[in-house]
Amino acid sequence: MRLKDKVALITGGANGIGLATTERFAKEGAKIILWDVSSKGSEVAGRLKADGHEVLFQKVSVTDEEQVKKAVAEAHAHFGRIDILINNAGITKDRTLLKMSKQEWDDVIGVNLTGVFNCTQAVAPIMKEQNYGRIVSASSNVAIRGNYGQTNYVATKSAIIGMTKVWAMELGRYGITANCIAPGFITTAMTDLMPEEVRNQTLPMIPLGKWGVPEDIANGYLYLASDEASFVSGICLTIDGGAAR
Ligand SMILES: NC(=O)c1ccc[n+]([C@@H]2O[C@H](COP(=O)([O-])OP(=O)(O)OC[C@H]3O[C@@H](n4cnc5c(N)ncnc54)[C@H](O)[C@@H]3O)[C@@H](O)[C@H]2O)c1
């Protein structure tokens, strides 16, 4: 088992890529701290516990700094350490620049950028104390290639790549690695929001000729969170079927 007895906090772990990551990490022996705003997290935790895994579900919004700090303290008290942070929670509110409201901008920045800052800042001191940590965050291949109608989303996903490089520099001396993943088109509830016609238009952009599945990204998170990647820090791993330009 590649994560035996490691404690992993996964944000947005109740659905899509976060759910696939939660399930994969549990099978690899990790103890899971599952965060989500959705109560579905409770069902997921119940199912995994019934299968013999150790899981703590906390209903947390990553946007709420105080809630994040409190939940990290409770989870740390529960498991005694936090080895891995997967900053996966994210949302989209797409609109072209000329039509995007300030609220749509703020909402996406709040979850995808400030949320990642809140979680990482709350967990990093624990990792520093342990002299061990793995931080892996969700960027996107749109950070590299841009995307129509996603000023807010692309801003956050580009920022993730930059912050990851800063954290690799600042936290490396404490045995902490920081990396991110840039997924391409992956079939989840988030991409179900895209009209069928637009989804079909994406296929010619992908050399492998198909969309990815959440497990493709969970495999990347697993590698970067494991000891196999102990000398890997500051990178953005693109997993997109060859689509990024
Ligand atoms: N699906 C894709 O094609 C794709 C591509 C590139 C990047 N990503 C990124 O991967 C991550 C996961 O995407 P997904 O497609 O699995 O999305 P999803 O919508 O299927 O799941 C996201 C999860 O995050 C949770 N969440 C939303 N706001 C939250 C908050 N404030 N606090 C805590 N949890 C919250 C949701 O309840 C949900 O369970 C996101 O960061 C997304 O931007 C996805």
The answer as to whether 161 is a domain residue is: yes
Task: Classify residue 94: in a domain, yes or no.
Answer: yes
Predicted pLDDT at 60: 98
Q: Which of 19, 22, 37 to mutate to test the pocket of ligand 1 (most atoms within 8 A of CB)?
A: 37
In a domain, residue 84? The reply is yes
**Residue 244 belongs to a domain:** no
Q: How many domains does the chain have?
A: 1
**For residue 2, is it within any domain?**
no
Q: How far is the CA of 113 from the centre of ligand 1 (A)?
A: 12
Structure confidence at residue 193 (pLDDT) = 87
Would residue 134 count as lying in a domain? Answer: yes
Give the C-alpha separation, 180 to 236, whole Å: 5
The rounded Å distance from CA 189 to ligand 1 centre is 8
Taking 70 as the pLDDT cut, the residues of the chain under it are none
Per residue in 147-164, pLDDT (tens digit) is: 999 999 999 999 999 999
Residue 36 domain-assigned (yes or no): yes
Q: Which domain covers residue 33, as residue numbers?
A: 7-239
Residue 13 CA: nearest ligand 1 atom is: 39
pTM of the model: 0.99
> Measuring from each residue's beta carbon to the nearest atom of ligand 1, which residues come in under 6 Å?
11-12, 14-18, 35-38, 61-63, 88-91, 111, 115, 138, 140, 183, 185-186, 188-191
Supply the CATH number for residue 173's domain.
Answer: 3.40.50.720
221 is catalytic: no
Residue 152 in domain: yes
